[in-house]
Structure 1
Amino acid sequence: MLERHEVETFLTLAEELHFGRTAQRLRVTTGRISHVIKKLERHVGAPLFERTSRRVTITAIGRRLAEDLTPLVEQMDAALLRAITAGRGVTGRLRVAFLGEYVAPVLSKAVTLFTARHPDCDVEVREVQLYNSRASLVDGSIDVLIASFPFDGMANGPILMTERRLLAVPADDPLAAEKSVSLEVLADHPVIQYPEMTSEEFKKNRTPSRTPSGRPVPKGPPGTTFSEMLSLVAMGRGVLPVGEQTQRYHPRPDIAYVPIRDAPPIERGPVWLESNTTAWVLEFVRAAADSVR
């Protein structure tokens, strides 16, 4: 009989095909991953992976084992979640929230589909701000939030939206006349900062401390809300990388939005507290994913 950690290690390595990334996901050492896989291969009596100094590939036996185990693990997880949900006394109420007007239409579609599938569950919809989005998840005020990735310390659902990045600059700034800019220009201008309580990984992603070449990025003043941050841009206190939907939902005569040509896209989707993974939460995440297909 296989132990749960052995199955989890095997399936994660089968997905990642990289010992380092597998160890990082499972929060153990690469030595521990290697030990578990070798033990499992001895139990099976055949190699499950082929390793070289450059790559890891899964064998035919390993692939078949992964295909057989995956649905079994999913069924076990579903059964456990049903038990946890029953133990917590689910009231038939789900509280969902959005951060930013641009994700509201996506949330609306998800709520509509979820409600059609589960009419016995009452869905409350709220809006949160930068300063209270994380706290609302932690204190249980909301169950699921549609927001930007990454959101460290939280479970993240599938990507529902992607958008290119723009740089918000004062309308009278010379950058406003450019067709596009590089991330390197961040080293030449103060960058408006997000509130202190915002997710650290999110801030690193949106307002990095260094450019791709390693140049330090000067910090501008922080804002409490997104509108306040844009006002700081308009007043010439700094620039701010934003998503392209900002141009549509926050058009301002005193701000210009310039495409950043070498920046990766912004990704948005559902976020929730790992310890609050109820059956309702997972069903809503599934509905959200289905609603954008």
Structure 2
Amino acid sequence: MLERLEIETFLTLAEELHFGRTAARLQITTGRVSQVIKALERRIGGLLFERTSRSVRLTPIGRRLADDLRPLVAGMEEALRRAADAGRGVTGELRVAFLGEWTAPALLRAVALFGERHPDCRVDVREVQLSNSRASLLDGSIDVLLASFPFDGMACGPALLRERRVLAVAAGHPLAGEERLSVEVLAEHPVVQYPQVTSAGFKQDRTPDRTPSGRPVPKGPVGGSFSEMLTLVAMGRGVLPVGEHSRQYYPRPDVAYVSLHDAQPIERGLVWREGNTTERLREFVRAATDAAGSFHP
């Protein structure tokens, strides 16, 4: 079995390809680095590094060993971190946020269940907007966000909410009197666009460049917030595919919502920065998933 020093020395040298820098990082002597590597090579029965007076390079055997060891070491470190978190218990503070009014009840159910399971962890609930949702995750203002999928560049949990799509149109629009529409209708009307801060994946999902049959979708004006986008719709500047809960949470006499019968449902769930995956965040995701599974609207 490999000793920890052997693994650390080998992987560090495989990264640095320099005995002096490896010794400095591990806070041991260069001679000790050489001694450990030579002993490891004797055990394996082959050279791990090609050494010259000017360079150090991995041999094919060394490269394969490095590729095999890295994920194993990462897994061990993650297991140790989880054990340490479990030993301390789920404590401290977790900052959770929602984007869109109708997601708030689902988030609060998750907060309630999480609080029952982990009473020593304080949960702070906040609301974010389209304009600052990603920035709030990146700068650490919030730890986890209940938002619409896809949310590019973030870790995500399972879908907690699903809703059918409808098309928001001005109350006086020719489409306002229809009972149901096809997504293909987007090719015939300008579509109001989300602000630039939203991700490419999200925009393509909500306001695609083309219909399913490949017809180009004309772009309408850009709104700075969801309410502003609906105002552009009400002014007749364009149409906008939205979730059906907009009927309840954004009722307006100047906007009509018409069913899109062949559109895929919108999914929402928890998203967070991958590097911020703590034990309390994992437990919150579990609580949110369990709360969503036991809720029947």
Counterpart position of 1:116: 116
Distance 1:80 1:136 in 2: 29
Counterpart position of 2:184: 184
Distance 1:109 1:130 in 2: 23
TM (norm. structure 1) is: 0.71
Count the aligned residue pairs: 219
CA RMSD across the alignment = 2.2
Distance 1:168 1:160 in 2: 24
C-alpha distance after superposition, 1:204-238 (max 9, x if no partner): 00000001111111111111111111111001110
The verdict on how the C-alpha distance between 1:275 and 1:172 changes in structure 2, with shifts beyond 3 A counting, is same
Instruction: Work out whether residues 84 and 278 of structure 1, in 8 Å CA contact, stay in contact via their aligned partners in 2.
Output: no
Matches within 5 A, 1:1-293: 79-82=79-82, 92-293=92-293
C-alpha distance after superposition, 1:255-278 (max 9, x if no partner): 000000110000011011111111
Q: CA deviation at 1:78?
A: 6.3
Instruction: Work out whether residues 91 and 118 of structure 2, in 8 Å CA contact, stay in contact via their aligned partners in 1.
Output: no
Q: CA deviation at 1:82?
A: 2.3
* Structure 2 SS opposite 1:125: strand
Instruction: Work out whether residues 81 and 277 of structure 1, in 8 Å CA contact, stay in contact via their aligned partners in 2.
Output: no
C-alpha distance after superposition, 1:99-127 (max 9, x if no partner): 00000000000000111111111111000
Distance 2:226 2:185 in 1: 22
* Structure 1 SS opposite 2:151: coil
The verdict on how the C-alpha distance between 1:254 and 1:200 changes in structure 2, with shifts beyond 3 A counting, is same
Distance 2:80 2:201 in 1: 30
The verdict on how the C-alpha distance between 1:172 and 1:109 changes in structure 2, with shifts beyond 3 A counting, is same
Q: CA deviation at 1:189?
A: 0.7
C-alpha distance after superposition, 1:35-88 (max 9, x if no partner): xxxxxxxxxxxxxxxxxxxxxxxxxxxxxxxxxxxxxxxx968624426869xx
TM (norm. structure 2) is: 0.70
Distance 1:280 1:262 in 2: 39
Instruction: Work out whether residues 99 and 133 of structure 1, in 8 Å CA contact, stay in contact via their aligned partners in 2.
Output: yes
Q: CA deviation at 1:199?
A: 1.5
* Structure 1 SS opposite 2:146: strand
Distance 1:286 1:104 in 2: 17
The AA in structure 2 aligned to 1:258 is V
Instruction: Work out whether residues 96 and 143 of structure 1, in 8 Å CA contact, stay in contact via their aligned partners in 2.
Output: yes
Counterpart position of 1:28: none
Instruction: Work out whether residues 167 and 260 of structure 2, in 8 Å CA contact, stay in contact via their aligned partners in 1.
Output: yes
Instruction: Work out whether residues 184 and 213 of structure 1, in 8 Å CA contact, stay in contact via their aligned partners in 2.
Output: yes
Instruction: Work out whether residues 91 and 280 of structure 2, in 8 Å CA contact, stay in contact via their aligned partners in 1.
Output: no
The AA in structure 1 aligned to 2:119 is P
Displaced runs of 4 or more, over 2 A: 75-86
Distance 1:193 1:219 in 2: 7
Q: CA deviation at 1:284?
A: 0.4
Q: CA deviation at 1:292?
A: 1.4
